[in-house]
Amino acid sequence: MKCASFEEMVQYLDGTSTPEQKAALAEHIAGCRDCAALRDRVSATAQAIAARPGEFCDPALASDVLELVRLGQAEPRPSLWQLWRERLRWSWVPLAAGAAAAALVLFVVDTDDGEFHTRGGAESGDAWVDLKVFRATATGYQPATQAIRADDALAFAYANQSRDRYRYLMVFARSEDGQLFWFYPAHVNVDSDPESIAICGDCATTPLPEEIEHPLPPGLLRVYALFSRQPLRVSAIEARAAREWQAAGAAELPRLSIEDTAQRQVLLQVRRAILDASRAE
């Protein structure tokens, strides 16, 4: 027999060659140094990936899953789209009423100095916009209305009925201890200074694309949505937040005094991660 090809050696070691082929190759290997070396090489490569006995045996996995099932963490949930569709049926009444009231008091003054200014009635645009927060779980999304867990990934949806007035959005959160957590724009590089994301100027509830997880500290968390006409920089908002919210707790945050923006806030209670909490009980 001539020397084995790589494929034939794999089949030999995998036990998928015919008994005749196997016997012939075994006999050949006994007298061929090259084929013996090839056999050892193929075998070592396969062994490198193989699991060691018990390497992935984790008896606690089943009990952890069953505990989470018991705690209601695996109940079927509607998808984000279903939630949004459902929400749309109800969200128009207060949104429309708010927008009508806002139109009575709104006025706009443009400035050229590039600085932020507070203007009378600037809050009125708030009624045209909305932010919804969802917590992602194993199988879908749940509206985050009051409490979330520290290890929850969060997803967001916005509504913008401003008829192209606001075209940019920032979503961030401030914890009780004063830390800022950025969701949109993503602030992944400390040396960068990203700006607001572009959004649809006139649309009903619209999902933002990602689930985002931050190491949130337990306690109150104020999620903040900032809609603007022009893109804003993260550094500008952080500086302003540091100045204006210096003494404020998360429970009561004054509106940021930034000209021609619409702002929405959602207050959440962050609890300990689910497994940490259940084990501590």
Partner 1 sequence: MAEQERKLHLVPGAEGRTLGDLGDDDLMLLVKAGRKDAFETLIRRYQEFVFGFAARFLGDRSQGRDVAQDVFLALWAERDRYQARGSFKGLLFTMARNRCHVTARGRRTQRTKLDALGIDPAARPTAPSEPIDELVAAERARLVQSKLAELPEKMRQALILRYTNGLQLDEIASVTCSPLGSVKATISRGLKRLGRLFEQEAQ
User: Least CB distance from residue 20 to partner 1, whole Å?
Assistant: 19
Tell me the two tokens of residue 213.
């997880």
Give the residue from 214, 222, 223, 217 showing the smallest Cα distance to 249. Answer: 222
Task: Return the number of the residue (73 or 257) whose C-beta is nearest partner 1.
Answer: 73
Tell me the two tokens of residue 120.
């009378």
Task: Return the number of the residue (74 or 253) whose C-beta is nearest partner 1.
Answer: 74
Task: Return the number of the residue (10 or 220) whose C-beta is nearest partner 1.
Answer: 10
In one letter, which amino acid is 232? L
Beta carbons of 25 and 8 less than 8 angstroms apart = yes
Long-range CB contacts for residues 10-15, cutoff 8 Å, separation at least 24 = 10/42, 12/39, 13/39, 13/42, 13/43, 13/46
User: Least CB distance from residue 52 to partner 1, whole Å?
Assistant: 8
User: Least CB distance from residue 79 to partner 1, whole Å?
Assistant: 12
Task: Return the number of the residue (62 or 247) whose C-beta is nearest partner 1.
Answer: 62
Give the residue from 162, 163, 170, 141 showing the smallest Cα distance to 153. Answer: 141
Task: Return the number of the residue (118 or 139) whose C-beta is nearest partner 1.
Answer: 139
Task: Return the number of the residue (15 or 114) whose C-beta is nearest partner 1.
Answer: 15
User: Least CB distance from residue 171 to partner 1, whole Å?
Assistant: 16
Beta carbons of 98 and 117 less than 8 angstroms apart = no
Task: Return the number of the residue (238 or 244) whose C-beta is nearest partner 1.
Answer: 238
User: Least CB distance from residue 209 to partner 1, whole Å?
Assistant: 12
Residues engaged in binding partner 1 (CB under 8 A): 6-7, 10-11, 14, 16, 41-42, 44-51, 55-58, 61-62, 64-66, 68-69, 73-77, 137-140, 186, 188-191, 213
User: Least CB distance from residue 143 to partner 1, whole Å?
Assistant: 17
Long-range CB contacts for residues 247-256, cutoff 8 Å, separation at least 24 = 249/176, 249/220, 250/174, 250/175, 250/176, 250/219, 250/220, 250/221, 250/222, 251/176, 251/220, 251/222, 253/174, 253/222, 253/224, 255/123, 256/224, 256/226
Tell me the two tokens of residue 167.
């075209």
DSSP bridge pairs for 64: none
User: Least CB distance from residue 70 to partner 1, whole Å?
Assistant: 8
